[in-house]
Amino acid sequence: MQTSHTHEATLVARACLNVAGFAELYNRLEKKMVISGKSLSTLENYSRHMAHIALHYNCLPTALDAEQIEDYLFLIKSQKAPSDSYFKHAVYGLRFLFRLEGLDERAIELPSLKRDKKLPAVLSKAEVKALLKAPTLLKHRLLLAIIYGCGLRCSEVRNLQIKDVDLDRGMLHIRQGKGRKDRYVPLRSMLCRGIKTYLDAERPRHYLFNGKDYRSPLSERGVQWPLKEAVKKAKILKPICVHTLRHSYATHLLEDGIDILSIKELLGHEAIETTLVYLHIARIKPVLSHCPLDTLYQS
């Protein structure tokens, strides 16, 4: 079965081979994105869409007029793209490309996109317990436990190295997370014991969770598959993805009384607004009706 990463690489390679000037355009796009600090996944998303539109019209996206761009966006929207983010990345990719090529006026012509205001699905603590108990393999149980217990993104858990685990201090070093930021998150005693047992049993050599060999990290599918199987075994009916465990981590911290600013730092969020969404999800005990006059003269 062909992975999404292989499919994207093949799509870009086809465009480089079949569309005049696309290889040079892709090289400029790659250099600009690396310099501006954007992630590899963003480069893959944007280049995939640029390759797709180039192959669709058999010319560079920058050579298309406004009507052709509109027809293309209408086509992928009306054909029910694989996800809402698919359409958004097509627009964002075109916008980035036009600005890269000095076509700012073309970027402005693209449709403005409203941010989704949907609240994410969150597991209850009972559901998390059932989920973590479900996998048969120790590796899979620990993988899911670390994602939930440390609030990690999929890319962050995949790229964990053994040297990032400090069992003596009970800390986990997240290197170059989203926005190329490092951070530390605490490892509680249960996770420390689980990691020690796993290290003694599995003897990984470089990555904490390696892929097909010790030199490569676990693939995205290597994280998604054990979660999917655990969800089925635990008979959880909610729509669950890897990021759901991160949402659940943040929500449970808030419900346990951890302040929102500390949660922001633990999650590695750039802006507090991103973290504030959990205030709408968490079941926080209501504060009794209070008037500041009650305590004004007590000091």
The arithmetic mean of pLDDT across residues 224-248, rounded, is 95
Question: Do residues 150 and 185 make contact, with C-beta atoms less than 8 angstroms apart?
Answer: yes
The pair of structure tokens assigned to 165 is 């685990």
Q: What confidence score (pLDDT) does residue 252 get? A: 94
Position 177 scores a pLDDT of: 65
| pLDDT at position 288 | 55
Sheet of 165-166, strand order: 165-166, 171-174, 183-186
Q: What is the mean pLDDT of the chain?
A: 86
**Residue 49 near residue 89, CB atoms below 8 Å:** yes
| Helix H or strand E segment including 185 | strand 183-186
Of 222, 237, 228, which Cα lies nearest the Cα of 155? 222
CA distance 26 to 20: 12
pLDDT greater at residue 239 or residue 9:
239
184, HSE (Cβ side, Cα atoms, 13 Å): 10
**Taking 60 as the threshold, does the pLDDT of residue 82 lie above it?**
no
Q: How large is the C-alpha radius of gyration of the chain?
A: 23
Domains 4-109 and 125-280 alike in fold:
no
Angle subtended at Cα 171 by Cα 170 and Cα 176, rounded to the nearest 5 degrees: 165
The question of whether 86 is a catalytic residue gets the answer: no
pLDDT of 160 > 50? The answer is yes
Q: Confidence class of residue 5 from pLDDT cuts 50, 70 and 90?
A: very low
Q: Are 115 and 184 in contact (CB under 8 A)?
A: no
Asked if pLDDT for residue 13 goes beyond 80, the answer is yes
**pLDDT tens per residue, range 25-66:** 999 988 888 887 777 778 888 898 899 999 999 999 999 888
pLDDT given for residue 6 in this prediction: 44
Catalytic-labelled residue, pool 140, 153, 247, 252: 153
pLDDT of residue 4: 43
Pick the catalytic residue: 56, 173, 178, 228? 178
Task: State the residue for tokens 């000091």.
Answer: 299
The whole-angstrom separation of Cα 70 and Cα 60 is 15
Superfamily of domain 125-280: Intergrase catalytic core (1.10.443.10)
The pairing of strands 165-166 and 183-186 is: unpaired
**78-90 mean pLDDT:** 71
Q: Sign of the CA dihedral 55, 61, 63, 69?
A: positive
Structure tokens at 234: 């635990």
What is the mean predicted confidence (pLDDT) over 174-188?
Answer: 83
Residue 69 has pLDDT above 80, yes or no: yes
Cα separation, 165 vs 173, whole angstroms:
7
Annotated catalytic residue within 49, 89, 246, 247: 246
CATH topology of domain 4-109: DNA polymerase; domain 1 (1.10.150)
Mean per-residue pLDDT, 224-234? 96
Structure tokens at 8: 């994207």
Task: Look at 1-15, 23-37, 64-78, 138-152 and tell me which has the smallest mean pLDDT.
Answer: 1-15
Kind plus residue range of the DSSP H or E element containing 166:
strand 165-166
User: In the structure, what pLDDT confidence band is assigned to residue 73 with cuts at 50, 70 and 90?
Assistant: confident
∠ CA 41-157-251, rounded to 5°:
100
Residue 295 CB partners (closer than 8 Å, separation 6+): none
- 287 token code pair: 């504060």
Q: Which whole number is the average pLDDT over 131-159?
A: 95
Active site residue 169: no
Domains of the chain: which residue ranges?
A: 4-109, 125-280
pLDDT at 22: 94
Told to judge if 264 belongs to the known catalytic residues of this protein, a careful annotator would answer no
**The one-letter amino acid at 235:** K
- Min mean pLDDT across 57-61, 112-116, 216-220, 270-274 is at 112-116
Q: How far apart are CA 60 and CA 29, in angstroms?
A: 13
For the stretch 241-299, pLDDT in tens is 999 999 999 999 999 999 999 999 999 988 898 888 888 888 876 655 556 766 666 65
pLDDT at 114: 62
Residue 243 catalytic?
yes
pLDDT at 14 over 50: yes
Terminal C-alpha separation, the chain:
70
Query: Is position 153 annotated as part of the catalytic site?
Result: yes
State residue 7's pLDDT score: 44
More confident residue, 181 or 12: 12
Percentage, residues of the chain above pLDDT 90: 51
Q: Dig out the tokens for 122 from the structure.
A: 């969150």
Position 2 scores a pLDDT of: 41
